[in-house]
Amino acid sequence: MVAFLQVALAGVVTGSIYGLLALGIVLIYRTTGVLNFAYGAIGAVCTGFMAILMMGPRLPFGLALLGALIFSALLGMGLERSFARPVLRAPVFTKAIATLALALILETVAQQIWPQLSQAVHFSSPFATASVRVGGVYIALIDVVILLVTAGVMVALQLFLTRTKLGIAMRATADNQDAARLMGAPVGNISLLTWGLSAVIAALAGILLASRTGLMNLSFLDPVLILAFIGAVLGGLESLPGALIGGIVIGLLDNLLALILAGHSLGPLDISDPGIRQALIFGGFVLVLLFRPQGLLGQATLRRV
């Protein structure tokens, strides 16, 4: 039982990171219709910036974090102006492939500026080794931090989007941009804010993951990004809580399957292999979409075809 809890908890923690990334993906998709394949690169560049701040000028963790978050907000807004604007009116696939190009550019530029980040570097964090005990379960401090930050981001975002004027305007813009403009909402600045906000979330996800594993490089979020995408679609692509839940479900499944399949084999086939696990998860995901083509929390809408 304790082992099960331990594993489930680990699943929720990794899932939270997928969920955070999924949140940012959905945020941008809803407001600008961009399926952002550069999202991992954005998070990695911001995490890299923080690693550099800690390695170079030897800033303490807190200051470096602050620096990285400010950097991410600026990067996100800069990308909105330089990248998202010019492709805004392009067809949806063109926009998606453009983000792919953006990812290549971002990674190359970052590599030129910080060549040391092309290899894995140590990412130190004050939560690295400590752990707390809850009941019979040991939880690494970093895992507690991840859960708290994720919950915090979700709650703050939800409050912002439903309780503040600007947040409601943001949802209104995502829903009907022309009407939002008619109401006098600053549609351009809202798009700027969306990109800034989602870049901050990418940075947080990257920093949390790097703090957990103690390592990072400029492509360390690429494999995670696909899982985040799947989490986002599983949750319904339109719904922020859905995105978070979708991400957590993926993380949880991965860890639980690992526990269940461990040490078993089917004839010559070693089913504890991570490949089997992945195949099961992706296969399950496709099955879910067959029965709920709009994801778990998405509503069947007639708009946005």
Partner 1 sequence: MLRIEGLRSGYGPLEVLHGLNLTIEEGSFVAILGANGAGKSTLMRTLVGLVVPRGGHITFGDRIIDHVSPERRLRAGLALVPEGRELFRSLSVRENLLMGAFTRPGGRSMEEDLARILDYFPRLKQRLTAAAASLSGGEGQMLAIGRAMMAHPRVLLLDEPSHGLAPTIVDTVFAVISQLHQRDGLTVVVAEQNAKKALSVAQHAYVLQGGTIALSGTAAELSQTAAVRELYLGG
Partner 2 sequence: MSDPASASPRSAPPSAWLRSRWAGWFIAGVGVVALLLVPSTYDALYGFQAGFQLHRISLIGIYIIAALAQNVLTGYAAQPSLGNAAFFGVGAYLLAWTNTDLHQPYWLGIVIAMVVCALLGLIVGGPALRISGTYLAIATLGLVLVTQSLLDLWDKTNGRQSYDLTQLPLSLGDDHTLYVFIVVIVVAVLFFVRNILQSRVGRAWVAIRDNEAAAEAFGINLTTYKLLAFVISALLTGLAGALYATWATTASSSSSSADQTIAFLAMIVVGGLGSIVGSVIGAIFVGFLPLLLQQLPAIVSAGPIRIQVTTLQSGIFGLLLLLALIFFPEGLRGIVDRAGLLMRRLLNRHIATGASEGVER
Q: In the bound complex, what is the minimum distance in angstroms from residue 158's beta carbon to partner 1?
A: 14
The shares of helix, strand and coil residues in the chain, as percent rounded to the nearest 5, are: 75, 5, 20
Compare residues 65 and 102 and give the one whose CB is closer to partner 2: 102
Paired tokens of 119: 């290899």
The DSSP element (H or E) to which 149 belongs, if any, is helix 141-163
Residues that bind partner 2 (CB under 8 A): 29, 35, 37, 83, 86-87, 89-94, 96-98, 100-105, 107-109, 111-112, 115, 226, 229-230, 232-233, 237, 268-270, 273, 275-276, 278-279, 282-283, 285-286, 289-290, 293-295, 304-305
**Residue from 203, 222, 217 nearest 114 by CA:** 217
Nearer residue to partner 1 within complex by CB, 155 or 179: 179
CA 300, chain centre distance (Å) = 24
Residue 58 interface partner, choices partner 1, partner 2, none, CB cut-off 5-8 Å depending on type: none
Of residues 160 through 179, those in contact with partner 1 by CB under 8 A are: 165, 168-169, 171-172, 175-176, 178-179
Q: How far is the CB of 78 from partner 2 (least distance, A)?
A: 15
Among 185, 190, 248, 261, binds partner 1 (CB under 8 A): 185
Which residue, 85, 52, 56, 50, is CA-closest to 70? 50
Which partner, partner 2, partner 1, none, binds residue 181 by CB below 5 to 8 Å per kind? Answer: partner 1
**Block residue for tokens 């807190």:** 62
Is residue 239 packed enough to be buried (19+ CB in 10 Å), middle (13-18) or exposed (0-12)? Answer: buried
CB of 217 or CB of 239, closer to partner 1:
239
- Distance in angstroms (rounded) separating the CA atoms of residues 255 and 241: 21
The whole-angstrom distance between residue 158's C-alpha and the CA centroid of its chain comes to 16
Phi, psi dihedrals of residue 65, rounded to the nearest 5°: -60, -50
Chain residues 223-282 in contact with partner 1, contact rule CB under 8 A: 238
Per CB under 8 A, residues contacting partner 1 are 165, 168-169, 171-172, 175-176, 178-186, 238, 301, 303
